[in-house]
């Protein structure tokens, strides 16, 4: 499984990826090279590295990537309503946003190679649906991404015109819209915002990819508007990784192996994490967000205490997010109790 990205970046300025500056910063951040010589890294750099860590390719990510390549080709000569899109749907923390960002990065880097030296291009746009969004708020998010001023006197139509004109001028071909579950098409504002997205999809010659929490089960696809959306978008599930069949266990073990090989810990025995694949699955229920947190917290802890090796005891002492802790069934509440007791002892 490929290790795709991440970087040691000393610059602390924060620009969300839903702004052009933040998006460019994300695309331009130097990827971590697996096997790179880290002997000269300072403590701070080692902590930064494990805090940011790497993005590994999951099966869901691979599928979304394949589907997107096909959708882009199918849409290439299509206009307006005939273009098809994708919706990435799954429970919280399963890597939906990360998948969108990685897709965007791959697409943008390929576009840069194809059009090297051409400045005025913006192949990818990334926005997040704001909570309780109205159509004006949504299109203003696009304007914010593009760095376009939204003046008080501009109405929704005027902002839409300038956003569409700019995206067309910059040859944007991929539009990523995150947190689409925040649109409730049963409310008036939600329904109108959904219409606004559809309108943008007709005016911008791009392929749209949405991501959201359990969209397959949400009001977004209900009612006439929802049905319209359902008629144009393919739904791709981004579920926690299962661990039942031999193939599923192999995939999970490969994922752990990829994360483990990206660690930069001086005394860590290679394979020690992979041996804990079953334990790691029982702790995280196959949710990549919980897994990533567990490994990163363990890594940072060992860098700080100087042991520089991740053991099962260390993993066991780390408390995870509420969802992960609540789902731990085997060996039952004793796991939590032991962990809590251990933490209290350490603190005192």
Q: How far is the CB of 3 from ligand ATP (least distance, A)?
A: 9
Rounded to whole angstroms, how far apart are CA atoms 27 and 42? 25
Tokens of 63: 């599928």
Q: Is 95 in the site for ligand ATP (CB under 6 A)?
A: yes
- The interface partner of residue 289, options being ligand ATP, Mg ion, none and the CB cut-off 5 to 8 Å by kind, is ligand ATP
Nearest to 104 by CA among 84, 128, 76, 80: 128
In the list 18, 75, 89, 98, the residue contacting ligand ATP (rule: CB under 6 A) is 98
Rounded to whole angstroms, how far apart are CA atoms 129 and 306? 43
Q: How far is the CB of 93 from ligand ATP (least distance, A)?
A: 5
Q: How far is the CB of 239 from ligand ATP (least distance, A)?
A: 10
For residue 79, list its beta bridge partners: none
Q: Is 292 in the site for ligand ATP (CB under 6 A)?
A: yes
Tell me whether residue 136 or residue 208 sits nearer to ligand ATP (CB atom): 208
Nearest to 312 by CA among 264, 271, 257: 271
End-to-end CA distance of the chain: 42
Which DSSP letter does residue 87 get?
E
Q: How far is the CB of 88 from ligand ATP (least distance, A)?
A: 9
- The interface partner of residue 167, options being Mg ion, ligand ATP, none and the CB cut-off 5 to 8 Å by kind, is none
Q: How far is the CB of 306 from ligand ATP (least distance, A)?
A: 25
Q: Is 93 in the site for ligand ATP (CB under 6 A)?
A: yes
Burial of 326 per CB tally in 10 Å (0-12, 13-18, 19+): exposed
Residue 143 near residue 19 (C-beta atoms within 8 A): no
Q: Is 218 in the site for ligand ATP (CB under 6 A)?
A: no
Positions in 33-62 near ligand ATP (CB under 6 A): 55-56, 58, 61
Tell me whether residue 322 or residue 330 sits nearer to ligand ATP (CB atom): 322
Piece of 89-97, 193-201, 253-261, 314-322 that binds Mg ion (CB under 5 A): 89-97
Q: Is 128 in the site for Mg ion (CB under 5 A)?
A: no
Q: How far is the CB of 49 from ligand ATP (least distance, A)?
A: 14
In the list 83, 289, 302, 315, the residue contacting ligand ATP (rule: CB under 6 A) is 289
Q: Is 97 in the site for Mg ion (CB under 5 A)?
A: yes
Instruction: Give one word for 53, left, alpha or beta, with left for phi > 0 and alpha for psi -120 to 50.
Output: left
Q: Is 298 in the site for ligand ATP (CB under 6 A)?
A: no
């990537």: which residue's tokens? 65
Residue 122 near residue 108 (C-beta atoms within 8 A): no
Q: Is 93 in the site for Mg ion (CB under 5 A)?
A: no
Rounded to whole angstroms, how far apart are CA atoms 1 and 253? 10
- The interface partner of residue 98, options being Mg ion, ligand ATP, none and the CB cut-off 5 to 8 Å by kind, is ligand ATP
DSSP line for 170-234: TT--EEEEE-GGG--TTSHHHHHHHHHHHHHHHHS-SEEEEEEETGGGSGGGSHHHHHHHHTTEE
Give me the residue whose beta carbon is nearest to ligand ATP. 95
Q: Which residues bind ligand ATP (CB under 6 A)?
A: 55-56, 58, 61, 92-98, 213, 288-289, 292
């Amino acid at each position: 499984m490929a290790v795709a990205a991440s970087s040691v970046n000393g610059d602390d300025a924060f620009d969300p990826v839903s702004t052009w500056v933040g998006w460019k910063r994300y695309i331009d951040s130097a990827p971590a090279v697996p096997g790179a010589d880290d002997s000269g890294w300072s403590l701070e750099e080692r902590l930064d590295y494990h805090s940011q860590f790497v993005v590994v390719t999951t099966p869901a990510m691979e599928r979304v990537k394949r589907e997107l390549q096909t959708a882009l080709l199918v849409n290439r000569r299509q206009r307006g309503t005939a273009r098809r899109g994708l919706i990435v749907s799954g429970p919280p923390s399963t890597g939906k946003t990360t998948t969108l960002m990685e897709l965007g990065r791959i697409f943008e880097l390929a576009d840069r190679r194809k059009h090297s030296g051409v400045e005025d291009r913006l192949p990818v746009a990334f926005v997040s649906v704001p909570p309780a969004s109205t159509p004006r708020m949504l299109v203003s998010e696009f304007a914010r991404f593009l760095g376009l001023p939204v003046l008080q006197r501009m109405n929704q139509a005027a902002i839409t015109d300038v956003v569409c004109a700019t995206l067309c001028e910059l040859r944007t071909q991929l539009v990523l819209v995150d947190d689409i579950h925040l649109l409730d098409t049963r409310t008036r504002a939600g329904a109108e915002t959904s219409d606004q997205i559809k309108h943008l999809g007709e005016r911008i010659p791009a392929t749209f990819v949405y991501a959201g929490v359990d969209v397959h089960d949400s009001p977004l696809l209900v009612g006439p508007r929802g049905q319209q959306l359902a008629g144009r978008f393919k739904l791709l599930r981004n579920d926690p990784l299962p661990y039942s069949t031999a193939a599923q266990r192999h995939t999970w073990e490969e994922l752990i192996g990829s994360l483990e090989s990206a660690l930069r810990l001086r005394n860590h025995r290679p394979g020690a994490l992979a041996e804990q694949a079953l334990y790691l699955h029982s702790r995280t229920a196959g949710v990549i967000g919980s897994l990533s947190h567990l490994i990163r917290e363990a890594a940072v802890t060992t860098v700080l205490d100087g042991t520089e090796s991740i053991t099962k005891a260390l993993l066991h002492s780390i408390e995870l997010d509420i969802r992960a802790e609540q789902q731990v069934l085997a060996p039952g509440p004793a796991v939590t109790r032991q962990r809590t007791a251990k933490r209290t002892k350490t603190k005192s």
